[in-house]
Chains A and B, each alone.
Chain A
Amino acid sequence: MLIASLYIKLTYMLKYFFLLSLFVSTFGFSQNSAFKAGEKLTFTASYNMSGVLTELAQVNMETSEIKTSKATLLRLKTTATTYSKWDNFFKIRDLYESYVSPTTVRPYLYKRDIYEGGYTKFVQYKYSHSKGTVASLIRKKKKGGGTYDQNNTLKISSNTKDIVSTIYYLRTLDLNSFSPGKTITMTVLFDNKPTEIVVKYVNKETVNTKIGSKACHKLAISIKNSNILKGTNDNLLWLTADENKIPVYAKFKVAVGNGELKIKSATGLKN
């Protein structure tokens, strides 16, 4: 029984792990001085129970340049891959992409293509900021084989973003001007639902990471009307307190223990 429940919790956690680094904007325009095309961040996602770490997956966040006939966009790509020891139990091969404006990190196209323990789903959002709408496409597997599409048009506010662009957008904020306790609310479009996320600036802290000891901005994240994240000040994100504002460490409280995301390597940084 205990093992079964532990297994269920772990698989549940694995599933949500990836979504647990959300946060976005209500702010107007900001200049992106934090990242450029060619940046590659690698993280290790693990489960921490009373100090005993179990490594679950590797998360990669990469940026690259995409040229169209009209403009140049930044492709923000995030992948989550379980370690080989997990592949027989609960294999995850997730791909999240967002195509954004290189300066303002405003998204134009979002794609989510996930494989989680046999479950697959494809989601695509095409933003039309002038109309304030998003054309959403959800593709799921049919039981008998083949796929079926669901098309929808959703209304969005001018600051609505997707998960990936939200994470990157947070890095463009001028966190040095934030005082402890300051909160910002952001809207993230996920599963066709606009979700409000509250980010609170906690304080500055020094964190030891694989890429050295870093002074960091500590942020507390919570989701309005959701119980995915437990506790109030227990879901935290540390961004380096330099120009790059790299997310180096994230901690999420789950039912039993903590989920952690730790940086492993960072290359192609802007500053």
Chain B
Amino acid sequence: MRKLFIVLGIIASILAIVLSVLPVSNLAYFPAIAALVFGFIAFYLSNKNKLSIKTIQLVFLLSVIALSITIYKSAFLTTEVGNTDELEIRQQESVEDAKQELENLDLDFDDLDVDINEEDLELGDLDEIEME
């Protein structure tokens, strides 16, 4: 029983460490807390049977490290958007390209004829369409 909890504790704490260094660091809370719980159970069982607690200390150490990294990351690192220069360029090119495409397109603005109103006429050059 004690061995089982030690093994579970080690697995959970290693998982917590791995998750904590990934961008999904927030998810490390789950295995870290699980590792602590397993660790405490194993610690209790070891004490009862007067057995070594060295590996359990490792479990605690790893989970505490994982929790520290996670808490540090969520408290001090702000999430911000990365470099979007390339996307901005693509957007600009896309508009220019779209303008060309739209000029060539047959814009059948039938729908606009149905519910045309003053506001829309002010918006753009819809007079021509209404003439059509």
On A, residues with C-beta under 8 Å from B are: 2-3, 6, 10, 29, 31, 47, 49-50, 52-55, 58, 65-73, 75, 77, 79, 81-87, 89, 91, 93, 95, 97, 99, 101-104, 106, 108-109, 111, 113, 115, 124, 126-130
Q: Which of B15, B77, B108 is the one whose CB lies under 8 Å from A3?
A: B15
A to B CB contacts below 8 Å, 19 in the list: A3-B19, A66-B95, A68-B102, A70-B107, A71-B129, A79-B91, A81-B84, A83-B81, A84-B82, A84-B83, A87-B82, A97-B94, A102-B120, A102-B124, A103-B111, A111-B97, A113-B90, A128-B106, A129-B110
Instruction: A66 to B19: give the CA distance in the assembly, Å.
Output: 46
Identify which of residues 56-111 in chain B touch chain A, using a CB-to-CB cut-off of 8 Å: 77, 79-84, 86-87, 90-91, 94-95, 97-99, 101-103, 105-111
B24 and A10: CB pair below 8 A? yes
- Is the CB of B29 closer than 8 A to any CB of chain A? yes
A68 and B99: CB pair below 8 A? yes
- Is the CB of B128 closer than 8 A to any CB of chain A? yes
B123 and A101: CB pair below 8 A? no
Chain B residues closer than 8 Å to A95, beta-carbon distance: 87, 90-91, 94
State the Cβ distance, B125 to closest chain A Cβ, in Å. Answer: 6
Instruction: A54 to B129: give the CA distance in the assembly, Å.
Output: 49
The interface bits of chain B over 16-28 (1 if a CB of A lies within 8 angstroms of the residue's CB, else 0) are 0011001110110
Q: A49-B27, A113-B94 are in contact. Are A130 and B106 (CB under 8 A)?
A: yes
Q: Which of A72, A79, A106, A109 is the one whose CB lies under 8 Å from B123?
A: A72
- Is the CB of B114 closer than 8 A to any CB of chain A? yes
Chain A residues closer than 8 Å to B95, beta-carbon distance: 66, 75
A83 and B82: CB pair below 8 A? yes
State the Cβ distance, A2 to closest chain B Cβ, in Å. Answer: 7
Q: Which of B30, B86, B123 is the one whose CB lies under 8 Å from A52?
A: B30
Instruction: A84 to B27: give the CA distance in the assembly, Å.
Output: 18
B98 and A104: CB pair below 8 A? no
A108 and B107: CB pair below 8 A? yes
Chain A residues closer than 8 Å to B101, beta-carbon distance: 109, 124, 126
Chain B residues closer than 8 Å to A83, beta-carbon distance: 23, 79-82
Instruction: A77 to B94: give the CA distance in the assembly, Å.
Output: 11
State the Cβ distance, B67 to closest chain A Cβ, in Å. Answer: 13
A104 and B112: CB pair below 8 A? yes
Chain A residues closer than 8 Å to B107, beta-carbon distance: 68, 70-71, 73, 108
Among residues of B, the one whose C-beta sits closest to the C-beta of A31 is: B115
Q: Which of A70, A75, A106, A128 is the one whose CB lies under 8 Å from B125?
A: A70
Instruction: A2 to B14: give the CA distance in the assembly, Å.
Output: 12
B111 and A29: CB pair below 8 A? yes
Chain A residues closer than 8 Å to B125, beta-carbon distance: 67, 69-72
A71 and B126: CB pair below 8 A? yes
Chain A residues closer than 8 Å to B81, beta-carbon distance: 58, 81-84
Instruction: A104 to B108: give the CA distance in the assembly, Å.
Output: 13
A-B contact sample (20 more), CB < 8 A, given A3-B18, A70-B129, A81-B84: A10-B24, A55-B79, A66-B95, A66-B102, A68-B107, A70-B107, A71-B107, A71-B124, A71-B128, A72-B126, A83-B80, A84-B80, A86-B82, A87-B82, A95-B91, A101-B109, A102-B123, A103-B116, A109-B102, A113-B90
